[in-house]
Amino acid sequence: MVIAAALAYANFSLGLFATLCAVVLARSPRWRHLRGFAYLAVTSAAYGLLDSFILRTTEPHRLTTLMQLSALVGSFHAAGWPFWSQWIVRRKATRLDAVAAAASIAVGVCAWIPGLLLSRPAHPVEVPWAGVTTRVLSMPLMGRILFPVVLFPIAVAFARFVLAARQGNRGARRYAIGLGVLSLAILNEILVASGVYPGVYVVDAAFIVVIAGCAYDIIEHIASDARKLEELSANLGRMVGERTNELSRVQHALVETERLAAMGQLAATIGHEVNNPLSYVIGNLQYAREEVFYNGSPDLNDALREALDGAERIRSIVSDLRGYSLPSANGVDDVCNVGTVMDDAVRLTRGAIRHRAIVDVEKIDVPNVPLGRQRFAQVLVNLLVNASHAISDERASQGTGRIVVRSRRGTNKTVVVEVEDNGSGMSETTRARMFEAFFTTKQVGGGTGLGLFVARSILDACGGSVEVDSELGRGTLVRIVLPMAVEHRRPTPFPGLLHLPLRSSIAPVPDEPAPASPRTTVLVVDDDARVRSTMGRMLSHCRVSLADSASACISMLDAGGAYDVILCDLMMPGRSGVELYEEILERRPELEDHFIFVTGGATTRRTASFVASNQNRTLYKPLDAKALSAKVEEVASALRIRDEGAARH
């Protein structure tokens, strides 16, 4: 009896402790399912408590009531196992689970019907092999038939655990063992109550085994979650460190980008300021050379030719710089000639590369590609600069660094442009990340990590692709594959911010300028006096009037001035050429087609957008006398033809 009482108290204590722990843990969403275990633990504790009372009770009526309660609690405990097992093995509850649970509870309720399952009074039974005497209620035939039903839900859960254990579920194996012990204990209790053989009740011991097994499985899961949490914490710390470093790189890249943008804007402004004096330098040199060619000495003519070539070189440099420094105003690209862009890119990077490598250009005549000249140049410049950085200092000092830029026709109507170097090459890790934004292998301040990312974005946008072959120590080959442009599209100047045409060559012997008609009257509007006088000299065969501001132009028009052509500078202090044009259109819309616009570079978005939409009647400083005269005659002739046609009708 002492052992039985100890088992009952142990069952009660363990079940109560497990219940409290499960209730506390179940407050967390992750462990909410432990409410099911709390149900099993509290019914186990109640069974142990009732058994402890049974062992101390001698009054027959009270003993019967306690045994009936014990049977009811045991049936409720058994009913919970199918539902707990379906959560453990991650299966949905079935109708069989509900039927088994209901049958078990029904047996527990029937135990309260007098004489149906248990008969009074309790009688002592000696157990010789255990050396104890226990008291049991006799079990009639109906009890012997119905009480085994309590094993039905336990058997359902047991079968489910066995199947899961065969599939490798370690926790299910422990549950299967525990339920096997509990089933044997319940069967033993039924056989003892039926009088089949004398024995002792060991259900409390079975409850201890099964609840302890459940608790161990739960503790194991908690420990596993704790390990995962620790790993997640370590990973989170590492990720935070990586993100912090990445944010630092991004911040540095953004600062660098802002600096480059400021430099681009500064270059645009400088280019505009350089082009104004360059206009009258080139214009006057052309004028002087023509005069000297017809009336002066050959030596003086050669000197002027060389000075003019130098001025043209300055114009080309400013054109390249300004055309590359800032993006387009409206993002619209056209087609371009591949060979021309290759020359542009090599010329732009010559200063940065010439001390590190020799650049060879191997180009053949290939079709145009559907990518703006400026953007394609940006792609090639980035690749060329990266190739030069890959040349080791040793190769650079020995003069053995080599970069090859080549073009060829590809398959499936494509054009291929390759940039190859004999530099240090790349590892697989670097090659896999080279097109990521902000990824760079250069030291802080050596690069933003945006060049190749932007290059790939530009190529993707036009349907192109980029391939990389590289090996450490053997150099790198970057292959650009672009579709051919649609044949009916023709390359036009890139309508972008600060676009300037490439320099035009000056003929060794100047041709006689094609004069405009003597009837042509021209109004030149420019805030720079030397530019005005130079344009007047270039158009000496026309009747030229000069205005130094937008206000002066409006005053001359209001005073009755009639002009075939109005040459208007776009960038002027006070009212710009765009504002002047818009004001005149409001007053005298018939003058819309009389305007020719002149600019040294659009330094504002509004002006750049205006230039993009008026490409056909915009001239870029520094001006060429022949081009200026031809454009003036083109506009004047078109107006005369229009007026004559209107007069005939």
Predicted local confidence at residue 489, as pLDDT:
41
Furthest C-alpha separation in the chain: 149
Q: Provide mean pLDDT across the span 557-578.
A: 89
Sequence letter at residue 416? V
Same domain, residue pair 572 and 613: yes
Instruction: Classify residue 112: in a domain, yes or no.
Output: yes
Number of domains in the chain: 3
Same domain, residue pair 53 and 195: yes
pLDDT category at 317 given cuts 50, 70, 90 is: low
Instruction: Classify residue 286: in a domain, yes or no.
Output: no
Q: What percent of the chain has pLDDT over 70?
A: 76
The answer to whether 375 and 333 have CB atoms below 8 angstroms apart is yes
Predicted local confidence at residue 113, as pLDDT:
85
More confident residue, 413 or 508: 413
Same domain, residue pair 390 and 528: no
Predicted local confidence at residue 301, as pLDDT:
64
Same domain, residue pair 475 and 525: no
Phi-psi region of 498 (alpha: psi -120 to 50; beta: other; left: phi over 0): left
- Any idea what the Cα angle at residue 575 is, between residues 572 and 580, rounded to 5°? 100
Q: Which pTM does this prediction carry?
A: 0.43
Same domain, residue pair 76 and 190: yes
507 pLDDT exceeds 60? no
Predicted local confidence at residue 522, as pLDDT:
93
Q: How far is CA 71 from the centre of its chain?
A: 65
CATH code, domain carrying 184: 1.20.1070
Q: What percent of the chain has pLDDT over 90?
A: 21
Instruction: Classify residue 539: in a domain, yes or no.
Output: yes
Same domain, residue pair 465 and 557: no
CATH code, domain carrying 531: 3.40.50.2300
Q: Provide mean pLDDT across the span 579-590.
A: 91
Average of per-residue pLDDT values in the chain: 80
Where in the sequence is the domain holding 351, given as residue range(s)?
Answer: 333-494
Instruction: Classify residue 285: in a domain, yes or no.
Output: no
Q: Which of 171, 203, 221 is the last residue of a domain?
A: 221
Same domain, residue pair 214 and 84: yes
Same domain, residue pair 424 and 538: no
Same domain, residue pair 123 and 203: yes
Q: Which of 459, 494, 529 is the last residue of a domain?
A: 494
pLDDT category at 472 given cuts 50, 70, 90 is: confident
Instruction: Classify residue 559: in a domain, yes or no.
Output: yes
Residue carrying the six token digits 């088992």: 7
pLDDT category at 270 given cuts 50, 70, 90 is: low
Predicted local confidence at residue 508, as pLDDT:
42
Same domain, residue pair 568 and 488: no
Predicted local confidence at residue 547, as pLDDT:
93
497: closest CA among 158, 252, 269, 233?
Answer: 269
The answer to whether 303 and 346 have CB atoms below 8 angstroms apart is no
Predicted local confidence at residue 289, as pLDDT:
65
Same domain, residue pair 486 and 539: no
pLDDT category at 490 given cuts 50, 70, 90 is: very low
Instruction: Classify residue 117: in a domain, yes or no.
Output: yes
Predicted local confidence at residue 497, as pLDDT:
29
Instruction: Classify residue 554: in a domain, yes or no.
Output: yes
Same domain, residue pair 482 and 598: no
Instruction: Classify residue 299: in a domain, yes or no.
Output: no
CATH code, domain carrying 411: 3.30.565.10
